[in-house]
A = this chain, B = another copy of it.
Amino acid sequence: MTKNKVGTQTLNFFTTPVIKSWASIVGPMEGQGPLQDYFDLILENNLDEGDKSWESTEQKLMQHSMEIALEKVGLQPANLDFYFAGDLLNQIISANFTARFLGVPFLGLYGACSTLAEGLALSSILLDGGYADRVGVSASSHHDTAERQLRYPTELGVQRQMTAQWTVTGGGSYVVESQGEGITITAATIGRIIDRGATNSNDMGTAMAPAAYDTIIANLKDLGRKITDYDLIITGDLGILGLSVLKKLLEQDGYPTHNVSDCGVLIYRADQDTHSGGSGCGCSAVVLNYLLQKMLEGKYRRIFLIGTGALLSPTSAFQGETIPCIGHGVVLEYNS
Expressed in whole angstroms, the Cα–Cα distance for A89 and B91 within the complex equals 8
Expressed in whole angstroms, the Cα–Cα distance for A4 and B311 within the complex equals 33
Question: Is A110 in contact with B86, judged by CB distance below 8 angstroms?
Answer: yes
List residues of chain B with CB within 8 A of the CB of A153. Answer: none
What 0/1 readout, one digit per residue, does chain A (81-105) give for beta carbons within 8 Å of chain B?
Answer: 1100010011111001101100111
Tell me the smallest distance from the CB of A252 to a CB of chain B, in Å.
22
Question: Is B103 in contact with A193, judged by CB distance below 8 angstroms?
Answer: yes
List residues of chain B with CB within 8 A of the CB of A111. Answer: 107-108
Among candidates B91, B109, B128, B314, residue contacting A312 with C-beta atoms closer than 8 Å? B91
Is A259 an interface position by the 8 A CB rule? no
Is A231 an interface position by the 8 A CB rule? no
Question: Is B89 in contact with A315, judged by CB distance below 8 angstroms?
Answer: yes
Question: Is B106 in contact with A109, judged by CB distance below 8 angstroms?
Answer: no
Which residues of chain A in 306-326 are interfacial with respect to chain B, using CB atoms and an 8 Å cutoff?
A: 309, 311-316, 319, 321, 324, 326
Question: Is B319 in contact with A131, judged by CB distance below 8 angstroms?
Answer: no
Question: Closest B-chain residue to A189, C-beta based?
Answer: B105
How many copies are assembled?
2
List residues of chain B with CB within 8 A of the CB of A52. Answer: 319
Among candidates B97, B132, B178, B314, residue contacting A90 with C-beta atoms closer than 8 Å? B314
Is A62 an interface position by the 8 A CB rule? no
Question: Is A324 in contact with B109, judged by CB distance below 8 angstroms?
Answer: no
Question: Closest B-chain residue to A128, C-beta based?
Answer: B129
Question: Is A100 in contact with B130, judged by CB distance below 8 angstroms?
Answer: no
Question: Is A130 in contact with B4, judged by CB distance below 8 angstroms?
Answer: yes
Tell me the smallest distance from the CB of A304 to a CB of chain B, in Å.
16
List residues of chain B with CB within 8 A of the CB of A179. Answer: 1
Question: Is A324 in contact with B100, judged by CB distance below 8 angstroms?
Answer: yes
Question: Is A192 in contact with B104, judged by CB distance below 8 angstroms?
Answer: yes
Is A171 an interface position by the 8 A CB rule? no
Expressed in whole angstroms, the Cα–Cα distance for A195 and B100 within the complex equals 7
Is A41 an interface position by the 8 A CB rule? no
Tell me the smallest distance from the CB of A141 to a CB of chain B, in Å.
13
Q: What 3 pairs across the A-B complex have the smallest Cβ distances?
A: A129-B129, A105-B190, A91-B313
